[in-house]
Amino acid sequence: MGSDSSSTSFSLDDEEVEPSVSITINSPARKTSFAVEDYERICTVGAGSFGRVYLVRHTDTQRCYALKQIPLRNIIAQRQIRHVHSERDIMMRLSHPYIVKMYRTSIDRCYLYMLFEYLPGGELFSHIRAKGHFSNGTTRFYAAEVVSALSYLHSKIIIYRDLKPENLLLTREGHVKLSDFGFAKVVSERTRTLCGTAEYIAPEIMANQSYDKAVDWWSLGILIYEMLNGFPPFRGNNVLEIFDKIVSGKIRYRRSFDPVAKDLVKKLLTVDPMFRLGNFEEEAQDIMDHEWFESIDWDDVYDGKITPPIKPRVSECDDPGNFDLYDEREDQHDEISLTELELFENW
């Protein structure tokens, strides 16, 4: 659901290399609006410069959900109108076991709301930090579920663009799900939006070159490295320092780093996307066929038949114990005008 960490996320306005791709939702139309007052707020489970995510409980059914609340003033000021529309439209068309479900959206004069399933296992980021680093087997398990999700997104011509442990949430059972689709985009060919998280951003994005889905496979390489090593390969005191290290392509591996995993990471972290694994004709299948995933049955991965290596401690459905504690004092935000509200038509 997104917590503030040492990583830096950013986005500049879109510059399309092609006309915008319209989204067609083939699934049956579903009711999207809901009454926010029907949900009791329990606590904050995510917060950032853009908004907050609350653990909420439906007053009638007692079911728990995650409510993402974004101040409309922030959206307008940060020129993120297109992104929130894109996030809503993309989430409405997705159905995959390793992607968080969005149920409904709503809006008033102050806030935009998105209602998601609540995943009580917390962020993968927290579990990595708690353990120091993951074993080879644990890393392979979570990498396989992420590959399954990214492959599905790419089949829908969607680029995720913000893969990182903070955006990977664990279910009660310990499976992982992609969350926070604020940077996701439908792209049939290429785009050149500058966005992402510094430690995870692909070199072609920061070089302001046009790019495609290969940027997600770069981020997968960073994720695998971080799970095995405890921290990402490219770190620095500021964004420019991190970018310089990314361009150099020089990575240090600890002696205990599994050599087969190292081979996969090196192929994913190829600076030139033309030669990056996952960007050839077979796309995600080339990654699935890599020796490191040799023991993986991909049908079992999709069906959730493989026992997760981490079992989060969850007492009740409304247990927020796997998330950080947040100051519950919320800044007050002014209403927007009716004219500005028209920017969010159909919410």
pTM listed for this prediction: 0.90
Bigger pLDDT: 248 or 30?
248
212 is known as an active-site residue: no
Output the domain CATH number for residue 108.
Answer: 3.30.200.20
Kindly name the residue from 14, 108, 162, 212 that is annotated as catalytic.
162
Instruction: State whether 132 and 166 are in the same domain.
Output: yes
Q: How many domains does the chain have?
A: 2
Domain limits for position 180: 124-303
Instruction: State whether 190 and 253 are in the same domain.
Output: yes
User: Is 325 domain-assigned?
Assistant: yes
Output the domain CATH number for residue 218.
Answer: 1.10.510.10
Instruction: State whether 336 and 287 are in the same domain.
Output: no
Instruction: State whether 322 and 295 are in the same domain.
Output: no
Q: Which residue has the tokens 């070089």?
A: 207
Distance CA 343, CA 347 (A): 10
User: Is 78 domain-assigned?
Assistant: yes
Bigger pLDDT: 300 or 250?
300
- 223 in helix, strand or coil? helix
Distance CA 14, CA 6 (A): 25
C-alpha 160 chain-centroid distance? 7
- Of the pLDDT bands very low, low, confident and very high (cuts 50, 70, 90), residue 260 is very high
User: Is 9 domain-assigned?
Assistant: no
pLDDT digits (tens, 9 = 90+) for 7-41: 666 555 443 333 333 333 343 344 467 999 999 99
Instruction: State whether 196 and 273 are in the same domain.
Output: yes
Instruction: State whether 60 and 114 are in the same domain.
Output: yes
Instruction: State whether 223 and 182 are in the same domain.
Output: yes
User: Is 209 domain-assigned?
Assistant: yes
DSSP for 39-86?
A: EEEEEEEEE-SS-EEEEEEETTT--EEEEEEEEHHHHHHTT-HHHHHH
68 annotated binding-site participant: yes
pLDDT digits (tens, 9 = 90+) for 56-112: 999 999 999 999 999 999 999 999 998 899 999 999 999 999 999 999 999 999 999
Instruction: State whether 258 and 274 are in the same domain.
Output: yes
Token pair recorded at residue 240: 């420019």
Instruction: State whether 229 and 106 are in the same domain.
Output: no
Instruction: State whether 62 and 139 are in the same domain.
Output: no
Quick check: 278 and 86 in contact, CB under 8 A? Answer: no
